[in-house]
């Protein structure tokens, strides 16, 4: 029977059948020919061209297998890189998209028997990151392009710089809050006093003599003039006599001014004692930096030695490791009430005290001094100016 015409129903049916994907068992990888049914595949295997290809493959079978394996691997990775990038994806999803192309290299002609074996091989060779889950194997492409690596390093550098900027801004805000609390304590509160006359019996009089001369003398003007003269004479007499009440008020004013000066001097003295460094040996601190990893983050340590005022050698309480940290990488520790602490800054610096209570609203604590010349005195100290004793 001859070949059907191009526009005949038989020819159109054959083209429709050959258009889509066919069964893998009827595909010959050596000849790269897809058969539609078992009979066609049998006829192809008996053909002379297929026999010649088998003779070529039998001479060097490893060469053909390596060629097909390299083709399969390169096409699969190219699809994974172009379609999914460096995202984590299920291996079966990538394989289904790969075999949707009719001209793809079939896995039965490669060195891998199953998709799982091929996925494990990609992980061992370092082409992908692979992990097994209850839903199957997932793969993630590792992009080793120099340009991509450069972009990733630049992006990581920008993220690190942003984190450093955030830490610096947070540190600046914390410093501003601390200074605000300090200046708030040193501000002078204005004292408002009542306005009083020096002499309650003294009356105010107006002399309208000039007006009365122009308009003519009258009884009221003469009375006012006499009263004004009397008031002036009495006031001059009072000015000549010393007043004990005015002297006492002056003494009171001088005394209050002296007290204000003393208070200002004490506040200046407190400000001069305040320093930027606070690290002291034998105190407990908490590590707040994340650069050392989760092993040390939020863990407590004991200060063993202070170097250059701002740097200290600390010993971790949990692991016993010794680290060298800056004071910006740690914070003070507030113990339970009744425990001993060491004051690290302010007028009572280097003084041991006992924690009595905590004022969360004002971010300070009430301490009872346990040493020094002010022993037994109760003072209020900010959180960052004292820490637990080891």
pLDDT in tens, 35-68: 777 777 788 888 887 777 777 777 777 777 888 8
> What are φ and ψ of residue 268, in 5° steps?
-65, -40
Residue 177 maps to a domain? no
DSSP character for 127? S
* Helix (H/G/I), strand (E/B), else coil: 386: strand
Parallel, antiparallel or unpaired: strands 136-141 and 311-316: unpaired
| pLDDT per residue as tens digits for the range 291-328 | 888 888 889 999 999 988 888 999 999 888 888 888 88
Percent of the chain topping pLDDT 70 = 75
Q: Which of 36, 59, 82 is the last residue of a domain?
A: 59
The whole-angstrom distance between residue 143's C-alpha and the CA centroid of its chain comes to 29
| pLDDT band at 3; cut points 50, 70, 90 | low
Q: How confident is the model at residue 213, as a pLDDT?
A: 42
Q: Which of 30, 112, 102 is nearest to 69 (CA)?
A: 112
Beta-carbon count within 10 A of 266 CB: 11
Q: Which is higher by pLDDT, 171 or 191?
A: 171
Distance CA 160, CA 167 (A): 10
Task: Tell me: pLDDT of 347 over 80.
Answer: yes
Q: How confident is the model at residue 301, as a pLDDT?
A: 93
Q: Which of 13, 43, 59 is the last residue of a domain?
A: 59
| pLDDT per residue as tens digits for the range 98-150 | 888 777 787 877 888 899 999 999 998 888 999 999 999 999 998 877 777 77
* Helix (H/G/I), strand (E/B), else coil: 283: strand
| pLDDT per residue as tens digits for the range 221-241 | 444 444 444 444 454 444 444
Q: How confident is the model at residue 223, as a pLDDT?
A: 42
Q: How confident is the model at residue 269, as a pLDDT?
A: 60
Task: Tell me: pLDDT of 244 over 70.
Answer: no
Mean model confidence pLDDT for the chain = 77
Residue 99 maps to a domain? no
Return the structure tokens found at 243.
Answer: 């007043």
* Helix (H/G/I), strand (E/B), else coil: 284: strand
Q: Given the structure tokens 């004013």, which residue do they identify?
A: 253
The whole-angstrom distance between residue 14's C-alpha and the CA centroid of its chain comes to 66
Q: Which of 59, 83, 109 is the last residue of a domain?
A: 59
Residue 330 maps to a domain? yes
Residue 207 maps to a domain? no
Residue 101 maps to a domain? no
Percent of the chain topping pLDDT 90 = 18
Q: Given the structure tokens 């990609």, which residue do they identify?
A: 122
Residue 100 maps to a domain? no
Distances (CA, A) of 282 to 298, 312, 379, 388: 19, 11, 22, 9
Q: Which of the listed ranges 6-15, 79-88, 144-153, 228-237 does the model predict with the highest average pLDDT?
A: 79-88
Domains: count for the chain: 2
Q: Which of 30, 129, 110 is nearest to 70 (CA)?
A: 110
Q: How confident is the model at residue 90, as a pLDDT?
A: 93
* Helix (H/G/I), strand (E/B), else coil: 132: strand
> Domain of 50?
22-59
Cα end-to-end span (Å), the chain = 103
Question: Which residues make beta-bridge pairs with 355?
Answer: 367
Beta-carbon count within 10 A of 346 CB: 19
Distances (CA, A) of 219 to 136, 214, 225, 231: 121, 15, 10, 18
Q: How confident is the model at residue 219, as a pLDDT?
A: 42
| pLDDT band at 156; cut points 50, 70, 90 | confident
Q: How confident is the model at residue 197, as a pLDDT?
A: 59
Q: How confident is the model at residue 17, as a pLDDT?
A: 65
Q: What is the CATH number of the domain that holds 324?
A: 2.30.30.30
* Helix (H/G/I), strand (E/B), else coil: 5: coil
Residue 374 maps to a domain? yes
Q: Determine the angle formed by the axes of helices 91-98 and 115-125, rounding to 10 degrees.
A: 110
Q: How confident is the model at residue 202, as a pLDDT?
A: 59
Residue 198 maps to a domain? no
State the average pLDDT over residues 244-261. Answer: 56
Burial 109-119 (b: 16+ CB within 10 A, else e): bbbbeebeebb
Task: Tell me: pLDDT of 154 over 50.
Answer: yes
Return the structure tokens found at 306.
Answer: 């202070």
């Amino acid at each position: 029977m001859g070949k059907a015409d191009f526009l005949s129903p038989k020819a159109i049916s054959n083209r429709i059948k050959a258009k889509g994907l066919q069964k893998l068992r009827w595909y010959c990888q050596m000849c790269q020919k897809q058969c539609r049914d078992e009979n066609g595949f049998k006829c192809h295997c008996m053909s002379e061209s297929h026999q010649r290809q088998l003779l070529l493959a039998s001479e060097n079978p490893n060469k053909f297998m390596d060629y097909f394996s390299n083709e399969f691997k390169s096409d699969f990775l190219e699809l994974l890189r172009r379609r999914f990038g460096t995202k984590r994806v299920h291996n079966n999803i990538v394989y289904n998209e790969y075999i949707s192309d009719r001209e793809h290299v079939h896995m039965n002609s490669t060195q891998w028997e199953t998709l799982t074996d091929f996925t494990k091989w990609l992980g061992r060779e370092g082409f992908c990151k692979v992990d097994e889950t209850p839903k199957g194997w997932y793969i993630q492409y590792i992009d080793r392009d120099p340009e991509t690596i450069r972009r990733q390093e630049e992006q990581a550098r920008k993220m690190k710089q942003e984190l450093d900027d955030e830490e610096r801004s947070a540190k600046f805000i914390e410093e501003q809050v601390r200074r605000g609390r300090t200046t708030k304590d040193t501000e002078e509160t204005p004292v408002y006093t009542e306005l009083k006359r020096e002499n309650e019996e003294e009356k105010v009089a107006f002399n309208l003599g000039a007006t009365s001369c122009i308009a003519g003398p009258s009884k009221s003007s003469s009375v006012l003039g006499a009263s004004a003269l009397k008031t002036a004479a009495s006031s001059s007499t009072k000015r000549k006599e010393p007043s004990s009440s005015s002297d006492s008020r002056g003494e009171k004013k001088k005394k209050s001014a002296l007290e204000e000066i003393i208070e200002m001097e004490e506040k200046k003295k407190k400000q001069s004692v305040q320093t930027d460094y606070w690290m002291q040996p034998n105190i407990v601190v908490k590590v707040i930096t994340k650069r050392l990893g989760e092993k040390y983050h939020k863990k407590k340590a004991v200060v063993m030695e202070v170097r250059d005022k701002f740097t200290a050698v600390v010993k971790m309480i949990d692991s016993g490791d010794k680290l060298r940290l800056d004071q910006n990488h740690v914070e003070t520790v507030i113990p339970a009430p009744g425990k001993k602490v060491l004051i690290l800054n302010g007028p009572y610096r280097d003084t041991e005290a006992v924690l009595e209570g905590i004022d969360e609203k004002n971010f300070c604590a009430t301490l009872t001094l346990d040493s020094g010349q002010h022993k037994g005195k109760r003072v209020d100290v900010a959180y960052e100016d004292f820490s637990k004793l080891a």
